[in-house]
Amino acid sequence: MIWQNKMLIEFRVKNFRSFRDEQVLSLVASQDKTLKDTHTIATDFAAVPHVLRSAVIYGANASGKSNLLKALQYMRRVVIESAAEIKPDQTYPIQPFRLDNESAAQASEFEVTFILDAVRYQYGFTMTSQRIMSEYLLVYKSAKPQRWFERRFDLETGKDIYEYGPGLKGSKEIWEGATRPNALFLSMAVQLNSEILRPIFNWFSSKLIIFNEQSQLSPHTSMQMLKDVEGRKRICDFLSSADISISDIELVTQKVPGQSFHFDLAAGKAEVRTEEVEEQQLRFIHRTDDGEAIFDVMDESSGTRNLLSLAGPVLDILRLGLTLVIDELDTSLHTLLVRELVDLFHRPDINTGGAQLIFTTHDTSLLSATGLFRRDQIWFVEKDRNQVSSLVSLAEFSPRSKEAFERGYLTGRYGGVPFLHDSLGLSR
């Protein structure tokens, strides 16, 4: 089944920023049968029979919810860059938990488990700013895992020790010899043309999409899609699915005043010339029973503009079955648009690739939206008096099926909300 191709199952992190202790974000669906047909994806694995299509993460400002996504993004970056872009003597800007001396001196830990082409992979590593301390890959082609490789740094000898399983084929000794202390074995092996490890690397590079302050959303993908007739139709249908009253979008090329740089080789001097340049502009067509109106992009609400920027990437993600991670989705979109966007991931007729959505938000009204989330899709991040962040699922609180989740959250039943009398030194 196509929706089994690319699914995030679990992400673990320890000793990164405000997460001192190991925290686990699990997309494994519970045995709760609520909204099972629409909000979960079936697998062929007995240990993981169903995976969630989405997860939402709540928490007060500075609670650490954004740090969770930064941890996943940091892991992704190390996988992609450690072999090709990190220099031999370069250090990493890793940030362990620094409010106790023991944690500050220890390595940070990252691990993901995902399904790719009907195979379950469990990959992780630990690292300091100086080097990779350990690295491993487990492969589940059946119930029993195969350990393809394990690497650990021996403090006594100052060398990396490697162990390989029979499942890892290829020039292991060459890959090992080329792997620098500050590079991942996985990344270096792929750099040296390991075809058997390439799918794991590609999952990080092209199947995991993250939008946050470090990776800004751009309208480029949507603009490119609008140049194609079929692409324009898909975007218009997407906006209609999100209940945006736009019947069509035109991409108009106009000549506008601009400047160009010219260098005269004979004269040996440069000059800036004023001339007309081509610029592409969007026109939004709104139709009602009473007539038609055309609006420029700046005439539309910020929510509509943000949704348009999301449209291209989201359409590709829904079609290809990728995992989309967005920090503070509610700052980009109105509440109703967020609901509609989440709903697209829960609709098998639209989410044909089995894509997943993970996002953080402050919008508590989503908790009271009927049929929007199962209990195991809702997560809370809370920071204690020692500034340690922890992650917990709503399902762990065993709420009643008809419990008012928004009210429970705002009253502190599940944690994850700021208590002003604590933070401001006020008494009740």
Query: With 60 as the cut, is the pLDDT of residue 280 above it?
Result: yes
What does the alpha-carbon distance between residue 415 and residue 406 come to, in Å, rounded to a whole number?
A: 12
Q: Name 166's bridge partners.
A: none
Query: With 80 as the cut, is the pLDDT of residue 263 above it?
Result: no
Q: pLDDT band for position 132 (50/70/90)? A: very high
Q: What is the pLDDT of residue 3?
A: 44
| 2-213+327-423 CATH | 3.40.50
Q: pLDDT band for position 20 (50/70/90)? A: very high
CB of 286 closer than 8 Å to CB of 247: yes
Tokens 């020790």 locate to 161
Query: With 70 as the cut, is the pLDDT of residue 403 above it?
Result: no
Q: What is the pLDDT of residue 259?
A: 67
Produce one character per residue of 389-426: b if its CB has 16 or more CB atoms within 10 Å, e if not.
bbbbbbbebebeeeeebeebbeeebbbbbbeeeeeeee
- Averaged pLDDT, 395-401: 72
Q: How far is CA 249 from CA 87, 210, 393, in A?
A: 46, 27, 41
Q: What is the pLDDT of residue 422?
A: 41
Q: pLDDT band for position 287 (50/70/90)? A: confident
One-letter identity of residue 302: S
CB of 27 closer than 8 Å to CB of 9: yes
Query: With 80 as the cut, is the pLDDT of residue 75 above it?
Result: yes
Q: pLDDT band for position 244 (50/70/90)? A: low
Q: How far is CA 40 from CA 102, 121, 161, 356, 358, in A?
A: 40, 20, 40, 10, 14
Which DSSP category does 90 fall into? P
Q: pLDDT band for position 262 (50/70/90)? A: low
Q: What is the pLDDT of residue 396?
A: 87
What does the alpha-carbon distance between residue 213 and residue 19 come to, in Å, rounded to a whole number?
A: 19
Q: What percent of the chain has pLDDT over 90?
A: 57
Tokens 């989405």 locate to 54
Q: pLDDT band for position 74 (50/70/90)? A: very high
Q: Whole-model pTM?
A: 0.87
Q: What is the pLDDT of residue 307?
A: 85
Q: What is the pLDDT of residue 346?
A: 96
Q: What percent of the chain has pLDDT over 70?
A: 86
Nearest to 29 by CA among 2, 1, 10: 10
Q: What is the pLDDT of residue 414?
A: 62
Query: With 60 as the cut, is the pLDDT of residue 54 above it?
Result: yes
CB of 139 closer than 8 Å to CB of 160: no
Residues 6+ apart with CB under 8 A from 395: 30, 32, 375, 376, 378
Query: With 80 as the cut, is the pLDDT of residue 289 above it?
Result: no
Query: With 80 as the cut, is the pLDDT of residue 137 above it?
Result: yes
Q: pLDDT band for position 163 (50/70/90)? A: very high
Q: What is the pLDDT of residue 423?
A: 41
**For 233-247, 256-270, 360-374, 383-397, which range has the lowest pLDDT when averaged over its residues?**
256-270
**For 110-124, 247-261, 297-311, which range has the lowest pLDDT when averaged over its residues?**
247-261
Nearest to 381 by CA among 421, 415, 357: 415
Query: With 80 as the cut, is the pLDDT of residue 209 above it?
Result: yes
Q: What is the pLDDT of residue 419?
A: 41
Q: What is the pLDDT of residue 252?
A: 82
Q: What is the pLDDT of residue 220?
A: 83
Higher pLDDT, 200 or 270: 200
The DSSP element (H or E) to which 239 belongs, if any, is: helix 229-241
CB of 354 closer than 8 Å to CB of 384: no
Q: What is the pLDDT of residue 427?
A: 39
Query: With 80 as the cut, is the pLDDT of residue 98 above it?
Result: yes
Domain ranges of the chain: 2-213+327-423, 220-309
Q: What is the pLDDT of residue 292?
A: 84
Tokens 């829904």 locate to 318
Residues 6+ apart with CB under 8 A from 396: none
Q: pLDDT band for position 387 (50/70/90)? A: very high
Q: What is the pLDDT of residue 428?
A: 38
Q: Which of 17-31, 280-294, 382-396 has the highest mean pLDDT?
A: 17-31
Q: Work out the mean pLDDT of the chain and round it to a whole number.
A: 87
What does the alpha-carbon distance between residue 176 and residue 160 come to, in Å, rounded to a whole number?
A: 9
Higher pLDDT, 103 or 292: 103
Query: With 80 as the cut, is the pLDDT of residue 335 above it?
Result: yes
